[in-house]
Amino acid sequence: MLTELQILLLTATGIACLHTVAGPDHYLPFIALSKARGWHFGKTLAWTIICGCGHVWSSVLLGLGGAALGWSLSKIAWFENIRGGLAGWVLLLFGLIYGAWGWVRARRNRAHKHFDTFEDGSIYVYEHKHGEAVRPQERYKVTPWVLFIIFLLGPCEPMIPLLYFPAARNNWWGMYLLIFVYTFFTLVTMLVMVTLGYFGISFLKTEKLERYVHALGGLTLFICGAGMVFMNW
């Protein structure tokens, strides 16, 4: 039977890969910039890693907030015997709320950032809705450092409860391991997708999957929490 930490590591791996593959903005801008600016393969991968690290660090900072809450609860005497169950409930409830929010957001078709390459080879980012064909007038030219800031300000919210759980058990080694696994699989997935695009290998159509990525992330956390609470994972 898998341990709680192993379940969390699998969940972190799944979220990292899903979050990256389902979001074309995690790899298409690097492919477009490399072609527009004539970057060699090594420079393309280097900027992918730099921006990927910014994205991961902002996610980890969110997760550390959850870890601080878990650590605070672990110091309460009456919490000693129930904290494992309570931590599982946090995962379950957060996943339910986050997934419901993601589903409502997808159904409402809220605007999100979109990258596009123009005829002169320049790349712009602007607000865009799924199915919307018209390019808005308000758009901003993308440079490598602008792309880094965009990634820095776009964290992955499911990291919050993932780090809460090991902190609630005072398992700092487990928390560091979760951070490493999430970082590793996010960067590897980004590099794989960028490499495929750099050498002209087409991608699957991910627009519909991108639209529901928050709902799918919440579902993943909900399943993880439900397994811990009801199935003694």
Residue pLDDT, tens place only, 199-212: 877 655 655 666 67
User: Is residue 157 pLDDT above 90, yes or no?
Assistant: no
The per-residue pLDDT for 83 is: 47
Encode pLDDT of 67-83 as tens digits. Answer: 777 777 666 555 545 54
pTM of the model: 0.75
Domain ranges of the chain: 4-230
Q: First CA to last CA across the chain, in angstroms?
A: 7
The model's confidence at residue 191, banded by pLDDT at 50, 70 and 90, is very high
Single-letter amino acid, residue 178: L
Average pLDDT, integer, range 164-175: 77
The per-residue pLDDT for 113 is: 60
Alpha-carbon torsion (196, 202, 208, 209), positive or negative: negative
